[in-house]
Amino acid sequence: MTGAARPLTVAVTGATGFLGQSVIAALSAGDCQVRVLARREPLALAGALGARLDVVLGSLDDRGSLGRLVQGADVVLHMAGAIKAMAPRFNLPFQIVRHSGHAPSAF
């Protein structure tokens, strides 16, 4: 089969942060399709990256938006820099992930 290969789709959390903005700019320059999770439309990112940026509106504590973010992605970069849980019900799973690097299976 001949033809151009499809660009790598990279899903990113933390894309609007200091590190995330630089990473997605580099990914886009490297011919990747970038999909980001954002609580609101990141206008500065969209203007800079144009058609190479897909935005999934949502949050880290919403399984639906996380599912949409990673669906069909080739790579997931989790760079969100939360320093504490947003609600008490998330505190224990948050602390486990923060210290061990992975979520318990019940989470």
Who has greater pLDDT, 79 or 51? 79
- Percent of the chain scoring above 90 in pLDDT: 25
pTM over 0.75? The answer is: no
Cross-strand pairs, 76: 11
Whether residue 33 is predicted with pLDDT greater than 80 in this model: the reply is yes
What is the tens place of the pLDDT at every residue in 53-91? 888 999 888 889 999 999 999 999 998 875 555 545 555
69 with 56: CB under 8 angstroms?
Answer: yes
Instruction: Please check whether residue 93 is in contact with residue 103, taking contact to mean a CB–CB distance below 8 angstroms.
Output: yes
Question: Does residue 6 have a pLDDT over 50?
Answer: yes
Task: Label residue 102 by pLDDT band (50, 70, 90).
Answer: very low
Contact 91, 33 (CB under 8 A): no
